[in-house]
Amino acid sequence: MKTRIFTLGLTVLLFGIGTFAQSDSAAKKAADKVKDASQPKIYKANPDDVKSIDSILKAVYNVISGDLGVKRNWDRMRSLFHKEGRLMPTGTNPNTGITGTVAITVDDYIKRSGPYLVKNGFHEVEVARKVERFGNIAHVFSTYEARNKLSDEKPFMRGINSFQLLNDGTRWWVISIYWQQEGKDNPIPAKYLKN
């Protein structure tokens, strides 16, 4: 027991001496590094992108869309999302028939989908929208069509993006986008194909 107390006392003493030996600026720099590592980076949004529900939806569609070989502005994408924002694709397992989802961060989305979007070209265009709003929160069902090139006659995919949005009093944030593609057994209802 005496050995344990002695070791603890020696550790505290050595730690204290090391701390006093540091200059104030070195200690501040070390503390700032720890603080920076624990805080997510804040990406400044273009005020025009986040001033309304319409503008933030248009910004999301714009930032993920582009021709083959065109890099996306991922910092712009990050600036639209709340720090806790998530993207949640759904899909049906062809073997089990069970539909599920996974919640991913914006950076996960960029890592998973970014290379595909650039390699193949991808344009997602909103064709209809239903908005429900209460106070500072909004839910938007946004029906989309996807093409590799805008000039493609027919979309290769359609679906609905379910946006959850927050207005913090100064701007709109994307809290989540939860989506499902249309399938032959799950066509988009007519009410979600018109505004």
The verdict on 106 and 21 lying in the same domain is: no
User: Are 53 and 18 within one domain?
Assistant: no
Q: What is the pTM of this model?
A: 0.79
Same domain, 84 and 180: yes
Does 34 share its domain with 75? no
Amino acid making up residue 159: G
Exposed, middle or buried, 50 (CB in 10 Å: 0-12/13-18/19+)?
buried
Task: Give the per-residue pLDDT at 27.
Answer: 54
Report the pLDDT value the prediction gives residue 87, as an integer from 0 to 100: 98
**CB contact set of 186 (below 8 Å; sequence gap of 6+):** 180
The pLDDT > 90 percentage for the chain reads 75
Entry field: residues in the chain: 195
DSSP 74-100: HHHHHHHEEEEEEEEEEEE-TTT--EE
143 & 62 share domain: yes
Structure confidence by residue, pLDDT tens digits, 17-55: 343 344 456 555 655 554 555 556 789 999 999 999 999
Is there a contact between 175 and 164 (Cβ–Cβ < 8 Å)? yes
Q: What is the pLDDT of residue 30?
A: 55
Residues 54 and 128 reside in one and the same domain? yes
Q: Do residues 60 and 97 share a domain? A: yes
Reported as a pLDDT band with limits 50, 70 and 90, residue 195 is confident
Domain that holds residue 139: 47-192
Domains in the chain: how many in total? 2
Together in a domain, 69 and 13 = no
